[in-house]
Chain A
Amino acid sequence: MRAFESVHPAAAFAYFISVLLVAMFTAHPVLLCEALLGAVLFCAILSAKGFWKNMASYVPLFAIIALSNPLFSHNGVTMLFFLNGNPVTLEAVLYGADIAVMLIAVIYWFQCYSFVMTSDKFLYLFGKAIPKLSLVLSMALRFIPLFKAQLIRVNRAQKAMGLYSGKSFTDKLRSAGRVLLALITWSLENAVETGDSMRARGYGLHGRSHFALFRFTGRDGVLLGISAALTGLTLTGRALGGADFAFYPRITGISTAPLSLAVYLAFGALTLLPFIIETEESLKWTYFVSKI
C-alpha cells in the first residue's frame, strides 16, 4: 500500500484534477517537463514492475508525435531543410516535441490516477450526488466478471460437444452471436434473483443512506490545502503572464523573471508532491525498520 493510495478520495481527486488542468492547457516547455517528471516519478513508485515495460512503449509514441508535427505544419521562420518541396522548420519540430511531452505526461498522470482512484473511490465521490448511479455502477462492476466467467464456461461446454468451433470467420461470428443471446437470457434470469436479494434486504425503503470506508483526516486537509495553494499560485502567475510562451512565428525565450520563476517553482512543487510524500514515507519506514 502506497501512502498516496490511502489519501481520502476527495483530496486525491482534487489533486489529480488540478495537475491535469494545468498540464493540459499549457504549452510552456518548463511546466510540461515538470508535469512529465512528476508523473514519471510517481508512476515509477506506484507500479515499479510495469514501469519499464510501459516506458519502452512510450519512446516510439513520443517519436511519432514529435516527428509528425513538422511534416504537416510549416509555420515558423527558422528553416532547417526541405522535404518533398516543403519546408521543415525548427519551430515546428520543437512544438511537436513539446506536444509529445504534454501527451505523454497526461497519459502518465492518467495511469497514476487509475492506480490511485479505484472504482470504489470514484463511486464514493459521486455516489452522494447520484446514489442510484453509484449503485448501478457498482453492480455493473460486479456483473462484468460474472458475465465473462459464464461466457468462458458456455464456450467450453459447447466446444466439448463439438459445437460452435467452426474455423471460418462467419461460423465464428454466428456462434458468438448465439452464445451471446443465450447469455443475455441467462443474465436476465440471474438479475431476477439479484433483485430479490436486494428487496429482501430492504432496498427501496425510504431514506437510504450512503456508507463508505473513507475518513477525511487532518493529513488529507493539509494535502488539499497545499495542492490548492500551489495550483492557485500557478494559475495566478499564468494569468499575470508569468508562463507566456510562443513557438510561432519564432520561439520566445524561456522567461526568468521572478514571476515566471515563482510559477515554475509552484507547479514543480505541485507535480512532485506525491513523489515527495512517497519518498518521505519510505524513508520513514527504513528508519523504523532500522530501529526495530
Chain B
Amino acid sequence: MDLFRVENLTFSYPQAEKKALDGVSLTIKSGEFAVLCGQSGCGKTTLLKMLKRELSPHGVRQGNVRYNGTELGDLDERSAACEIGFVMQNPENQVVTDKVWHELAFGPESMGLATDVIRRRVGEMASFFGIQAWFRGNTGELSGGQKQLLNLASVMVMQPKVLILDEPTSQLDPIAASDFITTLGKLNRELGLTIILAEHRLEEVFPAADKVLVMEEGKVLLCGLPREIGRQLRAISPKHPMLAGLPSAVRIFSGLNIDDACPLTVKDGRRFLSAHFTGAIDRVEIPEYTHSQIIAAEMKNVWFRYGRDLPDVLRGVSFTVYQGESFCVLGGNGTGKTTALNVLAGLNQAYRGKIVIGGKKIKEYKGNELYRHNIALLPQNPQTVFLKNNVREDFDEICKVMEYSAAERDALIAEIAVQLGIAHLTDKHPYDLSGGEQQKCALAKMLLLKPKILLLDEPTKGIDAFAKQTLSGILRGLKAQGITVIIVTHDVEFACENSDRCALFFDGEIVSADTPNSFFAENNFYTSSANRISRHIYKNAVTCDEVIELCKRNYEAAHEQ
C-alpha cells in the first residue's frame, strides 16, 4: 500500500527564481525505509517539509501529495499532526521543555490524552529507547546524542505511522550517530514503521535502507535499491559529486568495473575484494614524509583542569607541529581534544607545562598579540564567529581591527572570497547560509587575520560529503601557502585525506602520532572503512582511491601474465 504518493510536485519559495522542487514524483510504501540523499541545497529539506503539513513552507506549489490516499491538505488536523512524525536536524532547538519527562509528554499532552494513558506511553517509550537513567533529568544537561534520541522518542510517543527525519545525525559524533541509525533500523524492523530519512552520512544507513532516492537541483535523479545506486550514478557521470558521499564499499565497487553484486557493508566489501583481487602488490607507495625543521607550535607536558576541585582534562599533553604541516588530532567524545585546542589558542590557561607558538612561549604574548598574524581558531559552531547583519560587515570589522588600509582590505577580501568560492555569499545574513557555506565564510574571516597557524575544531560537523571535499581543497590551498593547520576531528575519513600526520587523543594525552598511512594501518578499529575493507589484502591503503588504485594495479598485473 502506498503511504505517501507525491505526484509531479513543483515548488518555489517566494521571490526565488529557481524552483526548489521541480516535478518530483515518488511513492513511499508502508513499512519502507527510504533514504533521501543529495548535496545540500538540492531540495531534500523542502521535499520532506512538504510531506508534513504543519511545516510546509509558503510559496508557489503545483502537483499533489497524497497521504494514505487523501490529499495532505484535506487531512484532519489530528491525524496530520499525530500520524506523521518529524525529527529535524538540530538536536538542541527541537527540545521544548526543561525536563526530559515533560518533553516526552509534550506530544501526548497536545493530543489531549488522559494522565494514565500518557504515563503508560511515556514509560513504554523511555524503556524502549533506554531513557530511564536520565528520565527525571534536565534536558539542558544531555549530550547531543541523548537530545536527538529524546527528540525521536518524543515523536514516537505519539505513535506515528510514518517517521520523517531531516539529517538527524549531522550534529552528532560518529558513535552517537551510529547508535541513532541503529535505533531507526530497529524501529523499522521491529515495529514495521515507515521511515523517510534524509542523510548525508550513508555508511550505516545504506545497509538498512530498502530504497534510496538521489536528488539533484530539485529533481529526483535516481530512485532504486541501495545496491544499484552506485552503478547508476556512475552511468550518469563517473565523476558525479554524489559518489563521494556513498559508503566506502559502494565507492570502491563503483570505482572498479566488476560484474558482481554491490557490497554495502565492510563485511561484504572484504568478501568482494577477496573474491576478485589478489594481494600481489600489497601496499601503496607513499613517498617518505619530510617536514620542515622549524617548529610552529609545541606543547610539552601540559596539564589543565577547569576548576581546582575538578578532574584533570589534559594530563601531560605533548606534541610538536612543524611549519607548513597539517596535523590531525583524532579521538572520541569528551577525551579533551577541544580543550587541548583551546589551551593552544590561549583561551584556557594550562596550570603546568610549556606551550610554545612560533618560537615564543604563549605567556609572553601580550594582549591580542597572539591573535595578530599568529594563531586563529575556527570554532566548532561557525555561527559564533559572526555578529553582524551580513558577512561583508563582519569581514570589514576584522579588517578594521587588523588595521588594513581600505585598498588592502578590498584586495584581501576579494582574494580570499575567490579562493574559498564565497564571493556570492558576502551580502547574505550569516544565518541564511547552509552549514557548509557558513563554515567557508567563517574560515574566510579567520584567513583575514593572516594567521600562521590555523586551528580547526570539528570542521566536518554538519556538512555534506561535497562540502567536505571543497574544504579539503581549501585546506590543500592553505598548505601550499605555508599555513600550518591543526585539526581536531572525529572524522577518520577526513583525517586520512587531509593530514600529514595524525595523532590519537585519549584520556587527556596524545597516545600515538604518525603519518596517516602508518597510523591507520596499525589501528584495528579506529581506522577508515576503506582500510577495514582492504586490510586483509593490502597493508597500508586508507582511502577509497588508494584501495581502487591497488585493486586496478593488481588486476592489470594478473592479466598481463
Shortest Cβ distance from A118 into chain B, in angstroms?
Answer: 9
B114 x A209 contact (CB < 8 A): yes
Category for how many chain B residues contact A: 35 or more
Q: How far is the CA of A204 from the CA of B77 in the complex (A)?
A: 10
Chain B residues closer than 8 Å to A193, beta-carbon distance: 88, 90, 93-94
Max chain A CB contacts within 10 Å: which of B112, B154, B384?
B384
Chain B residues closer than 8 Å to A181, beta-carbon distance: 387
Shortest Cβ distance from B121 into chain A, in angstroms?
Answer: 10
B118 x A141 contact (CB < 8 A): no
Smallest Cβ-Cβ distance to A189: which chain B residue = B431
A161 x B96 contact (CB < 8 A): no
Q: Mark B69-111, 1 if CB is under 8 A from A, else 0.
A: 0000000011001100110101011111111011001111111
Chain B residues closer than 8 Å to A142, beta-carbon distance: 95-98, 139-140
B377 x A199 contact (CB < 8 A): no
Known: A135-B97, A182-B387. A202 touches B90 (CB 8 A): no
Chain A residues closer than 8 Å to B347, beta-carbon distance: 156, 159-160
Known: A161-B445, A201-B81. A138 touches B371 (CB 8 A): no
A220 at the interface (CB under 8 A from B): no
Q: How far is the CA of A159 from the CA of B379 in the complex (A)?
A: 11
B376 x A161 contact (CB < 8 A): yes
Q: How far is the CA of A160 from the CA of B112 in the complex (A)?
A: 49
Max chain B CB contacts within 10 Å: which of A162, A181, A201?
A201
Shortest Cβ distance from A154 into chain B, in angstroms?
Answer: 5
Query: Which residues of chain A from 140 to 181 have a CB within 8 Å of any chain B CB?
Result: 141-142, 145-146, 150, 153-154, 156-163, 165, 178-179, 181
Known: A156-B379, A186-B383, A211-B105. A201 touches B158 (CB 8 A): yes
Known: A160-B379, A202-B81, A205-B77. A197 touches B88 (CB 8 A): yes
Known: A158-B387, A160-B371, A165-B368. A205 touches B110 (CB 8 A): yes
B385 x A157 contact (CB < 8 A): yes
Number of A-B contacts (CB under 8 A): 159
A207 at the interface (CB under 8 A from B): yes
A210 at the interface (CB under 8 A from B): yes
A209 x B109 contact (CB < 8 A): yes
Chain B residues closer than 8 Å to A119, beta-carbon distance: 98
Query: Which residues of chain B from 218 to 252 have a CB within 8 Å of any chain A CB?
Result: none
B377 x A206 contact (CB < 8 A): no
B480 at the interface (CB under 8 A from A): no
Q: How far is the CA of A202 from the CA of B106 in the complex (A)?
A: 9
Chain B residues closer than 8 Å to A162, beta-carbon distance: 368, 370-372, 401, 449
B90 x A209 contact (CB < 8 A): no
B109 x A161 contact (CB < 8 A): no
Chain B residues closer than 8 Å to A205, beta-carbon distance: 77-78, 81, 110-112
B112 x A201 contact (CB < 8 A): no
Q: How far is the CA of A221 from the CA of B401 in the complex (A)?
A: 67
Chain B residues closer than 8 Å to A204, beta-carbon distance: 110
Query: Which of A179, A186, A194 contacts B94, CB < 8 Å?
Result: A194
Q: Mark A204-237, 1 if CB is under 8 A from B, else 0.
A: 1111111111000000000000000000000000
Lowest 10 A-B CB distances belong to which pairs? A162-B371, A202-B81, A202-B110, A162-B368, A207-B112, A193-B93, A157-B384, A141-B98, A197-B94, A182-B387
**A binding-site residues for B, Cβ under 8 Å:** 119-120, 135, 138-139, 141-142, 145-146, 150, 153-154, 156-163, 165, 178-179, 181-182, 185-186, 189-190, 193-194, 196-213
A-B contact sample (13 more), CB < 8 A, given A199-B81, A210-B115: A156-B384, A160-B346, A161-B445, A178-B387, A190-B90, A193-B94, A196-B55, A197-B88, A200-B81, A201-B107, A202-B78, A205-B110, A211-B122
